[in-house]
Amino acid sequence: MTKVHQYIFIFLASLLTFGCGEFYKLEKSTNWDELYEAANRYYDEGEHNKAIILYDRVLPVIKGSGKAELAEFNYAYAHFRTKRYIEAAEYFKTFFDTYNRSPLAEEALFMNAYSLYLDSPDFNLDQRSSKEAVNAIQLFMNRFPESDSYERAISMIDNLQKRFEEKAFEESKMYYRLTEGLFPGEFYRACIVNFQNFAKSFPDSDYNEELAFKLVEVSAAYAERSVFDKKEERFSQSLDFAKDFMKKYPESKYLETVNEIHAESKEKLDDHYDIKEKYEARTAEALKIREEEKKNQEATEALKKVGN
Q: For residues 196-209, give the mean pLDDT.
A: 94
pLDDT at res. 303? 67
Question: What dotted CATH number matches 182-308?
Answer: 1.25.40.10
pLDDT at res. 200? 94
**pTM, entire model:** 0.69
Chain centroid offset of residue 18 CA:
51
Per-residue model confidence as pLDDT tens digits over 204-237: 999 999 999 999 999 999 998 888 889 899 999 9
Looking at residue 276, its amino acid is: K
Where residue 37 falls among pLDDT bands split at 50, 70, 90? Answer: very high
SS3 82: coil
The whole-chain average pLDDT of the chain stands at 85
> Torsion angle of alpha carbons 251, 253, 258, 260, nearest 10°?
110
In this structure, of 21-35, 203-217, 231-245, the range with the lowest mean pLDDT score is: 21-35
CA angle 261, 243, 187 (to 5 degrees): 60
Per-residue model confidence as pLDDT tens digits over 254-288: 999 999 999 999 999 988 888 877 777 777 667 77
pLDDT at res. 241? 95
2 has pLDDT over 70: no
**Between residues 268 and 306, the one the model is more confident about:** 268
246 has pLDDT over 70: yes
Where residue 31 falls among pLDDT bands split at 50, 70, 90? Answer: confident
Q: What percent of the chain has pLDDT over 90?
A: 57
pLDDT at res. 217? 94
pLDDT at res. 4? 43
- Cα–Cα distance for residue pair 33/27, rounded to 1 Å: 13
- Cα–Cα distance for residue pair 31/50, rounded to 1 Å: 17
Sign of the torsion angle spanned by Cα atoms 99, 103, 109, 115: negative
Q: For residues 60-76, give the mean pLDDT.
A: 93
DSSP letter string over 64-75?
TSTTHHHHHHHH
| 207-220: b (≥16 Cβ within 10 Å) or e | bbebbbbbbbbbbb
1 has pLDDT over 80: no
